[in-house]
Chain A
Amino acid sequence: MMQTRRQFIKKTLTIGGAFWASSWLIVKPLWAQTETLWPIGLFAHSKYQAALKGITGGQALIASKDITMTIPRIAENGALIPFTLSSTLEKAERVFVLVKKNPVPLVARFTLSPQVNTQLSARLKMAETSKVVSIVLANGQYYYTDKTVKVTLGGCGG
């Protein structure tokens, strides 16, 4: 479809205006002011749903049996939770690890080159009993698996 000059100018102004407005609306926290490629936007969310939307852009998650997450069912110390993830999904590009009830739900984002296998370990912090969600981006689809980890800070074994 041909665009008239008027339509073109209108569109340009709308898009440009939106960019300009958004740059003013976002108040950057102090740690965001260092110059890195770190995805500030993804880690800025404090709510799980918002964080998820930031990752997938609203695309639906697909539950997958091809992702295996090894994590304790009951953790006595929320400051150190061993976490292992392995997946047999082909062409995995990214792995996201989220803890639903953490102050910052997104814990880590792994960007994998084809030279590495989807076989990762890390140690997480958890504020309280919550679901841990692992998302694998493969072939443009978001696959996930989740598990509940019970955190007993009192150490009574709940």
Chain B
Amino acid sequence: MSSIKIRTKRQQGTTQIRTLIAHPMETGLNTDNQNQKTIAAHFIQTLTVRHNDKIILTTDMGSGISRNPYFSFEMKGGEPGDKITIQWSDNQGNRDTQDALIS
């Protein structure tokens, strides 16, 4: 099960891309209530959006993005069947990729 959900919606001349990623986005400043230890920082650093394997947008983020990040972008054009790929990588070296076709 991928951690990335992608929804696309074609509008007049543009395509809206919405994504929801399951990720804790820990800042490294919070303490665990159980054992009073600091929870290690764990957050997504880069998110890349590709349209037919061409990068159209990258986002570099810190821990200031909410848990389970949501983003929406607007792309010019976009035809049914075009491939949208979203990829993220976090500060602990994890990464995930998901494809979606524009409907």
Contacts and interface: CB of A to CB of B under 8 A. Distances in A.
Interface of A: 30-31, 34, 36-39, 42-43, 79-81, 99, 102-104, 106-113, 115-117, 119-126
A31 B65 CA distance: 16
A132 B41 CA distance: 23
Give the interface SS of chain B, mostly helix, strand, loop or mixed.
strand
A32 to B, nearest CB: 8
Contacts of A80: 66-67
A124 B63 CA distance: 9
Contacts, number: 105
Contacts of B92: 31, 34
Nearest to A107: B64
7 contacts: A34-B93, A108-B64, A115-B56, A116-B74, A120-B73, A120-B74, A125-B27
B60 A39 contact: yes
